[in-house]
Each structure stands twice: as structure tokens, then as C-alpha cells.
Amino acid sequence: MSGLIDPSAPAGARRHSTEGRHEPSSGVPPNSLSQLFELDDLTDPAAPATPAGRRLYVPVATKFLLAVLGTVLWVGLSVWISQAWINELTDVVGVLLAWVVVCLVAYLPGAVVAFMAFSLAMDRQPPLRVAEPTTPLTVIIAARNEEQGIGPTIAAVHRTDYAGPVHVILADNGSTDGTAEAARRTADELGVSLSVVREERPGKANALNTALETVATEYVVTVDADTLLHVESLRRLVSRLESAPDDTVAVAGAVLVRNSRENLLARMQEWDYYLGIAAVKRMQGLYQATLVAQGAFSIYLTADLRRIGGWPDAIGEDIVVTWRLMEHGQRVFFEPTAVAFTDVPTKVRHFMRQRARWARGMFEGLAAVPPWRQRRPMTRFVAGIDLLIPGLDIGYALIWMPGIVLFLLGYPWVVSAWTLVVLPLTVLVYGSLRRYQSRNVFGPLNLRVRRNRGGYLAFLLLYQALCSWASLAGYAQHLFGARRRWK
């Protein structure tokens, strides 16, 4: 059924710790750097002492400062090394354009990748302190015309090993097929506690908000109608929430590809979800500022969702709702071992539309809650990285790709033998990410990575081109106010 794995394989009151998804923010004495940050992001009087013989405890704020310092040094080294390249390019296009080109294709992506690499190198996820949570849950499944898939989705929720009571709400968004009947039939067969709410207004946010009005539990989990939960997923997701600091309002689960056997496009996406998206979320989770608690599989505090008015009427409703949840200093974490499996687009036009929606949703999040409105400094910084993403897409799609064509024609102005060294470095970075995922995510879950070498090679060489062009289309749609499309 799945690509990388088989998702169907069997397998109380909220409690908190001073340690969260990662080590709590603490322990940096005031100095010229630490004064840039608020006191509660740097000090924690409850931070544990380091026992003799154990690994040195490094506060998360210190890791952040080290990652920023490492990034600055990396960019500085890049500028020094690239002087000959800039001089050569200046002779062709002029000094101003030469600097623009090098910034977009070298310095900017180098800075973003360096910050992520330094952060992940220091990432140490603590164990889940709450092993067997039992707090009652509500799982909302928003669906429209999902008659064929809704039964397996509900059955997967039922198969999880979560020890507490779980109630499922089907948020039927004006389905014209037998979605509700199929859901009730599966619930009756398996003994699932199910209620169905119907919302005729189109839009996933409307369906979710109608369901939210009926939620009676402290926690609410959202699951997409085409998503299957791993048997341990709910337990691990709630465990992370209940192991986190008191001001944690949401935890994003890890979403992997379910249908990667269908074609090459799906196999490429398999590696994106397994490596790329997971790495970005790990970096953001380290700083307790996961920017998207995705609707496909995440947990939220019900009261906080209601406090901000629920999900907004937006293409990226899960992006905007996450940024609003964090706006006043709350934290959002990522739990890589809380795994769900979703279907991805298998046709190029559908994939391009999806990634354009994601890019447009990012702009909606930036407009709704600009990074400078985030109260926590680390959240401001991590959210501010999104301001750089359009530059990355412009540099890749409009400069790097034409530069490859020029290189093949004998004009190595943008791409040269030196800049092509990025390919083995990319393989090295992704190889490190693969080892982490295999040991720290799939290992504890008794999952196995299947071979997908063709998809991996295509992912390395072709995938970013599709993503960047789709993102540019999404940016243009947002800027020109194009009609929104959810499918």
C-alpha cells in the first residue's frame, strides 16, 4: 500500500515538563548577543544540572546563537572565495547584476542551508516523558466526496494504540456521494465513536470550524480524509504535547507518502517528505517554532484554537492558524515519530497546483502575521526565513537553470565546474538526513525503507525545478489576486 513503509502494519490530565520537544530555552548569561533576546528564551531556573559523565547540556538558545554564528562565518567564507567569480561576471553583466546573481544563486541558498545544517547537527530530541497518555481526544476528518477513502481513514484511527478515549468527527463539506454513509458504516462495524457534521459552504476551513464548535475535549487532532495513521502515531503525538512546556499549543506530526509506487513523480515526492520536509520541520521544532502544524496530521489545544477564531478562510489555512497560535509567544513543536501516510499528486498539473497553493499559503501567513509580530525572538527569526524563500525560487528558476543551459553551450558565467560541486555536497547532506531518519524515526517504529533509487536520483536532479516554477506561479497568483483553487 505505501511507498517507503507499510502504514497498516500492527503495532489523563495534561502533564508538562520544563523540557519540551527539545531542550528548554535556558542558561545563557547576559552579553551583547543574548541581550537581543527576551529573558524567557534564555533563562530557565529549572534547567537540570548536567550529571558527571553525561553529555554536556546545551540550552536551545545557545544552539540558536551557535547556528547563527556558523551561518555568518559560512557566508563570509563564501563571499571571500567567490571574488574571482564576481569579477568575471562583472565583465559580462556589470557589477550590480553580478552581485545580484551571486547573491541569489550562492549566498542566499548557502545561508539558509548552512543555518539548517548547523541547527540539525545540534538537534538532540529528548525522550517522551509521558509514555502512555490517556487524555480524551477528538479527531476531526474534513472530507468532500471521499466515499472510497473515508472508511480506511477511520479504521486507521481505530487501530492506533492510544489508551485514552477517542471521538471522531466527520466534517462533511457538502459531499454529493456517500461519504457520510460510508463513515457511519465503518464506525458501526468497528465500534468507533463517530459524529457527522455537515457544512455546505465550500472550503476546508468552514468544515473544520463547524466541527470545532462541537468538540468537547481538551485536545483536537486533524487528519486529512486521504491520510492513514501509523499505529503509534496518536500516542506519540499526545506524548510530545504533554512532555512540552505549558505554553505549547500544537504539535505537528510527520507526514510521509502513501502512494509512491504509482509513478516517478510520486517516488520523487516520497523523498521530499521523508528527507526535505522532515528536515525543515526538525530545524523549526528545535527552536519550538514549527511554522506549519499541517492539517493532514497535527494536534492542537481546543481552547487556543477557539481563542484565535479557528481556521481562517485561506488557501493555507493550516499555515495561518499556526502563525496566529504562536503570535503571542506560544510554542509549536514537531514530533518526527508520530507518523501518518498521505496520498500525493501523481499528475504534474495537480502537483504544480498543490505547490502553488502552498506558496500562496505562505504569503497568506506572512500577510496575516508578519514575522516581526511574533513575540518569541527565535520564532521571529525562523518565520523571517520565509521572507527569503521567494528569492531562492527566483534564483533557482530564473538564474541557476538558465545558467546550466549556458554552461552546456560553453558559457560558464553562472554555473561552472566549481559551482557544480554542490551536487556531491547535496548527496552528502541528504545521506546524513537518511541515516537520521532510518535510525531515529523508522527504527523505533519498526519500519523499513524500501529501495527507490530512480526516484532518489530524480529527486536530486529534477525535483527542485518543478517546485520552484510552481512556487513562482503561486506567488504571482497571490500578488495579482487570482481566483483561489483548492484542487
Q: Where does the pLDDT of residue 211 fall: very low under 50, low under 70, confident under 90, or very high at 90 and above?
A: very high
Which carries the bigger pLDDT value, residue 437 or residue 68?
68
pLDDT at 28 over 70: no
pLDDT tens sequence across 322-370: 999 999 999 999 999 999 999 999 999 999 999 999 999 999 999 999 9
Residue 189 lies in a domain: no
pLDDT at 16: 44
SS3 assignment, position 188: helix
Enclosing domain of residue 32? 1-135+218-487
Residue 192 lies in a domain: no
pLDDT at 419: 66
Average pLDDT over residues 61-73: 96
Average pLDDT over residues 213-220: 97
Q: Which residue has 519500519 as its cell numbers?
A: 447
Tell whether the torsion through CA atoms of 208, 212, 217 and 219 is positive or negative. positive
Number of domains making up the chain: 1
Q: Which residues of 124-138 are buried (b: 16+ CB within 10 A; e: fewer)?
A: ebeebebeebebebb
DSSP 288-326: TB-S---TTEEEEEHHHHHHTTSS-SSTTHHHHHHHHHH
Residue 193 lies in a domain: no
pLDDT at 125: 81
Residue 152 lies in a domain: no
Distance separating alpha carbons of residues 265 and 269, to the nearest angstrom: 6
Residue 151 lies in a domain: no
> pLDDT > 90: what percent of the chain?
71
Going by the DSSP 8-state scheme, the letter that residue 82 receives in this structure is T
Which carries the bigger pLDDT value, residue 389 or residue 450?
389
Distance separating alpha carbons of residues 12 and 10, to the nearest angstrom: 25
Residue 413: CB atoms within 10 Å: 16
| DSSP-assigned beta bridge partners for residue 166 | 137
pLDDT at 486: 55
Mean pLDDT of the chain: 87
- Segment (H or E) for 340: strand 331-342
Order of strands, edge to edge, in the sheet holding 227-229?
Answer: 193-198, 166-172, 137-143, 219-224, 297-301, 248-257, 331-342, 227-229
pLDDT at 422: 65
pLDDT tens sequence across 256-297: 999 988 999 999 999 999 999 999 999 999 999 999 999 999
Q: Where does the pLDDT of residue 418 fall: very low under 50, low under 70, confident under 90, or very high at 90 and above?
A: low
Residue 358 has phi, psi (to 5 degrees) of -60, -45
pLDDT at 171 over 90: yes
Distance separating alpha carbons of residues 82 and 86, to the nearest angstrom: 6
Residue 350: CB atoms within 10 Å: 13
pLDDT at 11: 38
Residue 212 lies in a domain: no
pLDDT tens sequence across 102-150: 999 999 998 999 999 999 999 988 788 898 999 999 999 999 999 999 9
| DSSP-assigned beta bridge partners for residue 298 | 222, 252
Residue 155 lies in a domain: no
How many CA atoms are closer than 13 Å to the CA of 199, on its beta-carbon side? 23
Residue 410: CB atoms within 10 Å: 6
CA distances to 107, 109, 208, 330 from 416, in Å: 16, 17, 50, 46
Q: Where are the alpha helices (DSSP H) in 94-177?
A: 95-102, 108-121, 150-159
485: exposed, middle or buried (C-beta count within 10 Å: 0-12, 13-18, 19+)? exposed
pLDDT tens sequence across 29-54: 333 333 333 333 433 333 444 444 45
Average pLDDT over residues 93-105: 93
CA distances to 101, 316, 336, 455, 467 from 198, in Å: 52, 22, 33, 40, 35
pLDDT at 398: 95
- CA end-to-end distance (rounded Å), the chain: 23
pLDDT at 380 over 80: yes
Contact 11, 161 (CB under 8 A): yes
82: exposed, middle or buried (C-beta count within 10 Å: 0-12, 13-18, 19+)? middle
Residue 194 lies in a domain: no
Residue closest to 133 by CA, chosen among 234, 244, 231: 234
pLDDT at 38: 36
